[in-house]
Structure formats: structure tokens, C-alpha cells
Amino acid sequence: MESIYIHGGIRLQGQVRIQGSKNAVLPVLAATILTKGKNTIRNCPKLTDVFCMQTLLKNIGCRIHFHGTDLKVDATDVDLLRVSGRLKGEAVCSMRSSITLLGALLGRFGEAYLEYPGGCVIGERPIDIHLMALEKFGVTFEEDAGGIHAFTKGLTGTNVKLPFPSVGATENIVLTGVSARGKTVIEGAAREPEIVSLCEFLRLAGAKIYGDGTERIEIEGGLPLHGTEYAVPGDRIVAGTYMCACLAAGGEVFLREAPTEQMARQLYCAEQMGARWQTEKDGLYVQMSERPCAVPYIRTEPYPGFPTDMQSLFLAVAAVAKGECLMEETIFENRFHILPYLEKMGAEIEIIDTNKVRVKGVDTLQGNLVEAKELRGGAALIVAGIAAKDITIVEGCKYIERGYENICRDLRELGVRIYGV
Ligand code: EPZ
């Protein structure tokens, strides 16, 4: 699918099931490498990043296939030769979370070669914190033009204090720690729900991990890990995306399997905008009767703060809200790619600084031709198109498919006139 067409200005009405979480399932798939057996990952979203991880796991000897929405992964016969040879050639796709393979491969084989995961348009995406932490386990790195060769004579548990609660680095340390001899303590760990998901999977496989979801995680390493079954929770960012569509265009929606307990800060902002919401037994009900009121100041922060992945989505809502919103992005250095396109649709935006913008809401946006430059910005342009008058065409949909199984199908279930070509 190349482009998405939206006929905006229609209030939303309907219900949709929220897909499994992309950012939870990717590290769990990397963790299957550490299990000597068969795993069933339930509610696995069918996304390009998941297919990419599937290819990487297959290339190192995992038997892996979808069975409905369950992804079955048998990591019994993963072998080293294929690992060191293959990961050079097969690249690690353009997928950021492939760096999490480093911890898993070192844990299973004591060696890995990965091409640099590379930056992307939202930021440089360095991996210095990952490398610093893994060195403390006794890992040696040799870097060449294309990537990193990592190896160890044996992983030993250690204490790591993170300078920043990096999600990916916390995941890598957990994956290395469960394989290391002795105890590992992480201070300043990321607290995102995706960390808890990874640790839940590993505990089901036989690991002993405590404190996930807090800043201090303790791991008793070196225990044998067996295959297991794990159900991926709903995706908090996909649920937030559809909630923002309702906030921007008005209406009422029911988001089945939305992980409401992981969305507190988003819901607080939605309430400030004038939305009514309530948790039902199997999902989240959201109603927006009036034009949204602007939230005066939103600052992105590590979890449980306001999620950076929701920043562009709330900018799109702010573009049609009553009043002004000051948005500050503190996680990534370049995450305002949608500004010129929102302005092309009639939004009034003032750039205060490289990481701070002020949006003055307008009564209505005008549909126009816009382009996605990255995943969440692309989704935000769709939300803007849903609120706008007339037709909006969003190009660059390959970025959006990395995080949304079928955003057109889902939004049509909520009454949006949208289709992809
Ligand atoms: C994860 O990225 C998510 N990706 C991102 O979601 C999410 O935005 C981010 O966490 C923050 O919540 C996946 O889970 C696959 P970080 P990650 O390490 O692990 C800097 C999406 O839209 N940093 O917490 O890469 C880094 O440059 C994606 O689904 C270092 O400086 O995030 C960034 O500025 C986008 N050195 C900040 O920390 C390091 O070694 C946050 O990065 C690592 C990170």
C-alpha cells in the first residue's frame, strides 16, 4: 500500500479490537533464542518489523511460523555457525529492535555479529549505553565499517547503573543477565510496560527476575530456560492513536483489549481536552462530544510520563483544539516531522526551539496531500485527515505498516471513510 485516502470531518462511532503490542513482542521474540524448546507467542501482531524478526530468527536456525495470530518459535536447534555467518548478510533490516538480538545471541552463544542498527529520521539512535552495559558482563566488542562483532569467554553477573532509562538497553541487559553466571542488578532501569512483558515471558521460561516496572531490576542468572506460552498485551500506542482520532473528530468508540492500565498519562490529557472515558471489563470506552480544549503544556518523558510515541498524535489533536498547546519533546532529537504537513492543512504552529513547538488550534483543518516520514508521524497525519474537511492523501504508508497491522481496516470499523491504494 502506497497511499491512504481519508474523507474527513465525520464523527467516529464503533468499536475495534486493538492489536498486540509491537514494542512488547519484538524483545520477546529475541528472548526465544535463549529457550531450548518450543514457544507459542499469542496475539502476535502481523507487522513488517515482526516479519523482519521472523526472518532473522529463521536465518539462525529457529523453526518459526504463524498459526493464526499465534507465532510458534522452536529455538531448540539454533546453531552458532549460522549465527555468526548469517547475521552479517541478512542485515538486521532497518529495524531498531534488532539490537536486542545482541543480548540474546551473547546469552545463547557467547558471540554475535550485527550490522549497526542505524539511526532513523527521529534521531541518531546511538547504542553507547547498550555497549557500556554489556562490557560490564565481560563482553568484548570489535567494531568494523559495517557493524559490531561481540564475544565473551563467559558472562558474569554485574551491577549496571544506566545514565538514562533506555528501553532497548534495559531489554538487552535483562537478556544478557538471565544468561550470566550470578546476580545482576540494574539501577535506573526503564519502567515501560514492554520491560515487564519481556520479564513475564522470561519468568514463564524459568528465569528469576524481580523489580521489573521499577527503576531497580534484580536477576538471578544462569538458570536453564525452557519453551513456554505467552500472550502479548494490547498495543498502548495503537490504542492511543485511535483514541486521538476520536478526540480530534469527535464521537464515541470502544477499543477492545486496549491496555488501559498502561495509558494513564494519555488518558489524563484526553480528560483535560474534555473527553469522557471509562474502563470496561475488556477494553476502553472514549467519548468526545465537543471540540477538544487544548492541553496548555505537554512534555514527553520516560514511562510513566507522557510517551514520546504519542507526541505527534496529540499534536494532531492540538491542531484543531480550542486554545494553545506547548509541546516539548525530551526523548528524541528530531521528532517534529509532521509540522510542515499540519501547516499545509491549515494548522497554526510556532517553532520555539528544536524540541519545543506551540500549536494554536484552528476551527477546522483542510484536507491536503501530505507524506509520512516515520511511523508515528504518519499515523498522526491520518488523525489530522480524519478531523479535516474534504480529502486528505497520506503518502509513505510503508512507515505506518511497521506499527499498525491494518490501520484502514481498524479505522473503518470506527466509522472513518478511509482506504489504502
Ligand atoms: C524504544 O526505542 C521503542 N522502540 C520506541 O518506539 C520508543 O519511542 C522508545 O523506546 C522510547 O519509549 C521499540 O521498542 C522497538 P531508548 P529505543 O533506548 O529502545 C537515547 C515506535 O514508534 N539512547 O529508550 O531505541 C536514544 O537516542 C518506536 O514504536 C542513547 O543515547 O529507545 C533516545 O534519544 C520509536 N544511547 C533515547 O535514549 C543508547 O545506547 C531513548 O532511547 C540508547 C538510547
Q: For residue range 297-333, what is the model confidence (pLDDT) as tens digits? A: 999 999 999 999 999 999 999 999 999 999 999 999 9
Q: Which residue puts its alpha carbon closest to atom 4 of ligand 1?
A: 23
SS3 414: coil
What residues have CB less than 8 Å from 205, skipping those under 6 apart? 31, 34, 35, 39, 225, 226, 227, 228
**DSSP letters of 324-369?**
EEEEE--S-SS--TTHHHHHHTT-EEEEEETTEEEEE--S--B--E
Q: How far is CA 396 from CA 153, 307, 373, 389, 402, in A?
A: 45, 23, 7, 21, 11
What is the three-class DSSP state of 64?
Answer: strand
Tens-place pLDDT, residues 29-84: 999 999 999 999 999 999 988 998 898 888 888 999 999 999 999 999 887 655 55
Q: Are 113 and 84 in contact (CB under 8 A)?
A: yes
Task: Report pLDDT digits (tens) over 118-165.
Answer: 657 788 778 899 999 999 999 999 988 878 889 999 999 999 999 999
**Which residues of the chain are in CATH 3.65.10.10 domains?**
3-19+234-420, 22-231
Query: How do residues 153-197 score in pLDDT, each as one tens digit?
Result: 999 999 999 999 999 999 999 999 999 999 999 999 999 999 999
Of the listed ranges 95-99, 156-160, 199-203, the least confidently predicted one is: 95-99
Mutation pick for ligand 1 pocket among 167, 171, 355 (CB with most ligand atoms within 8 Å): 167
Helix axes 167-177, 193-204, angle to 10 degrees: 20
Tell me the whole-structure pTM to 2 decimals: 0.96
Question: Is the CB of residue 126 below 6 angstroms from any atom belonging to ligand 1?
Answer: yes
Residue range 3-19+234-420, CATH number: 3.65.10.10
Percent of the chain at pLDDT exceeding 70: 95
Say what the pLDDT of residue 88 is. 46
* Confidence tier at 87 by pLDDT (50, 70, 90): low
Residue 206 has pLDDT above 90, yes or no: yes
Q: Name residue, grid cell 478526540.
A: 247
Q: How far is the CA of 397 from the centre of ligand 1 (A)?
A: 22
Higher pLDDT, 56 or 275: 275
Architecture of domain 22-231: Alpha-beta prism (3.65)
Ligand 1 pocket, mutate which of 164, 311, 330 (most atoms under 8 A from CB):
164
d(CA 216, CA 112): 27
Parallel, antiparallel, or unpaired: how do β-strands 251-256 and 283-288 relate? Answer: antiparallel
Q: Write out pLDDT tens, residues 182-194.
A: 999 999 999 999 9
Question: Burial letters for 153-171: b for 16+ Cβ neighbours within 10 Å, e otherwise?
Answer: eebbbbebebeebbbbbbb
* Separation between Cα atoms, residue 113 and residue 150, nearest integer Å: 6
Closest CA to 28 of 187, 233, 220: 233
Which residues have a Cβ under 8 Å from the Cβ of 90 and sit 6 or more positions away?
55, 56, 59
What does the alpha-carbon distance between residue 42 and residue 40 come to, in Å, rounded to a whole number? 6
Nearest-CA residue for ligand 1 atom 21 is: 309
C-beta of 361 in contact with ligand 1 (< 6 A): no
